[in-house]
């Protein structure tokens, strides 16, 4: 388990038991543009297959921010679902969280971290992230999107593979 504290009363931990799943689900499904409508089950499964990073207020332990990392633990990581509670923004928690993730992954030997953001380029650039060459990256995106709402439906269609 990785933990880190700040002098102003915040604790960061990778302990999955400290993640407030209901709060994280609420944040992501109602306020995070990339995860609007995401089901609680999907949040649970996503965090179960990732390294969770929770930021909590000390001493009450209330969760105020979250991130997760999908990684092989050796060469590559994807930093995603970074969210700071609206009432806690402006305190540098996002930068602190991203820096802690970067440094923790470096201690594991992970040398490449990828992320995607629509509006927080400055936060990540301050700690060393840079735009990628788009022609080098490719994507297969099978997310179902409702043409009426622009949101992921509650149930995803099954992927069928013909042999």
Q: With respect to residue 145, please indicate whether it lies within any of the assigned structural domains.
A: no
What's the whole-number mean pLDDT along residues 91-106?
Answer: 98
Q: With respect to residue 52, please indicate whether it lies within any of the assigned structural domains.
A: yes
We report the CATH number of the domain holding residue 34 as 3.40.630.30
What is the chain's mean pLDDT, rounded? 91
Please report which helix (H) or strand (E) contains residue 123, including its range: helix 121-125
Residue scoring higher pLDDT (157 or 81): 81
pLDDT digits (tens, 9 = 90+) for 111-156: 999 999 999 999 999 999 999 988 888 889 887 875 445 666 554 4
Residue 107: Cβ within 10 Å count: 9
What's the whole-number mean pLDDT along residues 5-18?
Answer: 97
Confidence at residue 32, expressed as pLDDT on a 0 to 100 scale: 97
Q: Distance between CA atoms of 135 and 119, rounded to whole angstroms?
A: 21
Domain count, the chain: 1
Q: With respect to residue 59, please indicate whether it lies within any of the assigned structural domains.
A: yes
Confidence at residue 1, expressed as pLDDT on a 0 to 100 scale: 93
CA neighbor of 126 nearest in space, from 89, 97, 83, 85: 97
Confidence at residue 156, expressed as pLDDT on a 0 to 100 scale: 46
Place of tokens 């043409």: 147
What's the whole-number mean pLDDT along residues 71-95?
Answer: 97
Q: Distance between CA atoms of 102 and 96, rounded to whole angstroms?
A: 10
Q: Distance between CA atoms of 134 and 122, rounded to whole angstroms?
A: 19
Name the token pair of 15.
């302990």
pLDDT digits (tens, 9 = 90+) for 17-49: 999 999 999 999 999 999 999 999 999 999 999
Q: With respect to residue 74, please indicate whether it lies within any of the assigned structural domains.
A: yes
Q: With respect to residue 160, please indicate whether it lies within any of the assigned structural domains.
A: no
Q: With respect to residue 153, please indicate whether it lies within any of the assigned structural domains.
A: no
Q: What contacts 87, CB < 8 A, 6 or more positions away?
A: none
Q: With respect to residue 112, please indicate whether it lies within any of the assigned structural domains.
A: yes
Q: The domain containing residue 27 runs over which residues?
A: 3-131
Q: With respect to residue 142, please indicate whether it lies within any of the assigned structural domains.
A: no
DSSP readout, 11-57?
A: EEE--GGG--HHHHHHHHHHH-TTTTT--HHHHHHHHHTSEEEEEEE
């Amino acid at each position: 388990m990785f933990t880190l504290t700040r002098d102003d009363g915040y604790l960061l931990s990778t302990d999955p038991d400290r993640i407030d799943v209901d709060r994280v689900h609420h944040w992501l499904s109602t306020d995070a543009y990339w995860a609007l409508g995401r089901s609680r089950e999907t949040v649970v499964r996503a965090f179960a297959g990732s390294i969770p990073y929770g930021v909590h207020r000390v001493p009450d332990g209330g969760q105020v921010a979250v991130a997760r990392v999908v990684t092989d633990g050796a060469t590559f990581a994807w930093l995603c679902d970074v969210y700071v509670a609206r009432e806690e923004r402006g305190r540098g928690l996002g930068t602190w969280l991203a820096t802690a993730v970067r440094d923790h992954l470096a201690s594991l030997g992970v040398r490449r971290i990828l992320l995607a953001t629509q509006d927080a380029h400055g936060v990540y650039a301050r700690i060393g992230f840079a735009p990628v060459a788009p022609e080098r990256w490719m994507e297969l995106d099978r997310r179902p999107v409702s043409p009426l709402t622009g949101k992921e439906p509650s149930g995803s269609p099954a992927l069928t593979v013909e042999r």
